[in-house]
Amino acid sequence: MASDGILDAAMASGRGQWGRALTALVTATLVPLGLLPAVAHAQFTVGGKRVPPIETNFAGVRQVSPRYGLIVQINHDAQPGGDFELSLVDETYASLLSRFRRGPVIRADLLPLVIVSEAKIARFGEGGRRRMFRWLETDLRKHPDLHLSPAAIFVSDRAMADREKLRSTLAIALGFLFDQRFRSALDSLDPPRPDR
């Protein structure tokens, strides 16, 4: 996207109030022209009633599921075609809890479930998978709407087109929270070390 360099330059050119003002001006100019993505149109619902996001960040809007506190983010570039029912996440997680009696091996609130555009999922799959997920490679190839990373579980907005497809994709995605191989891969990472 040609506008990426423009926005990066605008954000880097100023600090503080002037930098924010310049960023707002560039964004206000480029979004209507279609050169930058607009905010995601989907909203979160619980029991069919809309609930506001608890957080909006540079990537998207976030909310937590009401029962288990799973973090769900809808990225700004996603085009889900409707609202996201958070209780569906809890229902799926509850069914996994009953199937895996030992419980999750990764805390429910540790990795957000992130809805991204189909194009972004495709780009994730273009490069080689991270070596740390080599044990999960056959599972991941079967599910092109999913991508795992140490920071999040990504789901394509294409999965939201059909409620049953979304339920199935959520079961697979959240199932990784119960997968010891995924936990072992995450544990093998070196902890981040701050620069001095």
16 and 57 part of one domain: no
Q: Which of 62-66, 95-99, 173-177, 188-192 has the lowest mean pLDDT?
A: 188-192
For the ranges 23-27, 56-60, 144-148, 192-196, the lowest mean pLDDT is seen at: 23-27
Residue 35 has phi, psi (to 5 degrees) of -90, -15
Mean pLDDT across the chain, nearest whole number? 76
For residue 26, give its domain range.
1-36
Q: What is the pLDDT of residue 90?
A: 95
**151 and 169: one domain?**
yes
Verdict on whether the full-model pTM lies above 0.75: no
**Residue 9 and residue 99 share a domain:** no
Residue 106: inside a domain: yes
Shared domain check, 111 and 60: yes
State the pLDDT confidence band at 188, using cuts at 50, 70 and 90. confident
127-137 tens-digit pLDDT: 655 555 666 66
Say if residues 62 and 55 touch (Cβ distance below 8 Å): yes
pLDDT at 94 exceeding the cut of 60: yes
Q: Which pLDDT score, from 0 to 100, does residue 65 have? A: 94
CATH code for position 53: 3.40.30
pLDDT in tens, 110-155: 889 999 988 887 777 666 555 556 666 666 677 778 888 888 899 9
Short-list 54, 77, 153, 168, CA closest to 111: 153
Are residue 146 and residue 73 in the same domain, yes or no? Answer: yes
Give yes or no: residues 15 and 55 share one domain.
no
For residues 178 and 101, membership in a common domain is answered with: yes
At 67 the pLDDT is 94
Residues 32, 50: one domain?
A: no
Q: How far is CA 104 from CA 77, 110, 125, in A?
A: 30, 11, 26
Say yes or no: 183 and 116 in one domain: yes
Total number of domains in the chain: 2
Residue 194 in domain: no
Residue 51 covered by a domain:
yes
